[in-house]
Amino acid sequence: MYFEKFEKVVPAVIGMQSLIGTSNQYPLSWGNYFWLHNGPRVLNFWAENLQAANNKFLTDGMVQIVEWIWDEGRTCIIKDERIPQDWYYQKLCFTGGGHVPVDIATDIYELIGDPSFELEQFTDPVSYWAKRGGQYFPNGCVRFNLR
């Protein structure tokens, strides 16, 4: 599959985001997924963490990203050395935008690392979800036996 990858410095401005409730202790380990304003969906950061990082670390109001563009979409990760690692979400969040193609997922995890073997959800979803107590179906659904 063909895709393009760009490293960019863009305004650290949140566009659309989900609307779950969160605490006010930063960095959050869980939060709202979001798109950059006029930009791609961010996979490895929460909206609240970017808002707080903007005041604390990104004093110029800009953030460094790596963006992937392919025929059917675009996405990015934040990769800014001014932000401490514990502010990032290492597993990647695909909620609201769906999974990226396996070639792009592979490229992302090669760039940021994959300590919890999340790439397996692209390369072998049956095994990935079985290890987590779920059953994967070819239509992309996962069922968990809740007792």
pLDDT in tens, the chain (147 residues): 799 999 999 999 999 999 988 888 889 889 999 999 999 999 999 999 999 999 999 999 999 999 999 999 999 999 999 999 999 998 899 988 888 999 999 999 999 999 899 999 999 999 999 999 999 999 989 999 876
Per the CB < 8 A criterion, the answer to whether 122 and 102 are in contact is: yes
* 90 lies in the same domain as 131: no
pTM for this prediction: 0.89
Per the CB < 8 A criterion, the answer to whether 39 and 76 are in contact is: yes
**57: buried, middle or exposed (CB in 10 Å: 19+, 13-18, 0-12)?**
middle
For position 147, what pLDDT does the model report?
67
* 100 lies in the same domain as 138: no
Q: Give me the domain span that covers residue 17.
A: 3-116
* 80 lies in the same domain as 138: no
For position 80, what pLDDT does the model report?
98
* 40 lies in the same domain as 16: yes
* 74 lies in the same domain as 136: no
For position 51, what pLDDT does the model report?
95
* 137 lies in the same domain as 66: no
DSSP 73-122: EEEEEE--TTS-GGGS-SS---TTT-PPPHHHHHHHHHHH--TT-TTHHH
H-run or E-run covering 127: helix 125-131
CA–CA dist 43, 94 (Å, integer)? 6
* 144 lies in the same domain as 83: no
CA–CA dist 75, 94 (Å, integer)? 10
* 17 lies in the same domain as 88: yes
H-run or E-run covering 4: strand 3-11
Q: How many domains does the chain have?
A: 2
CA–CA dist 29, 46 (Å, integer)? 8
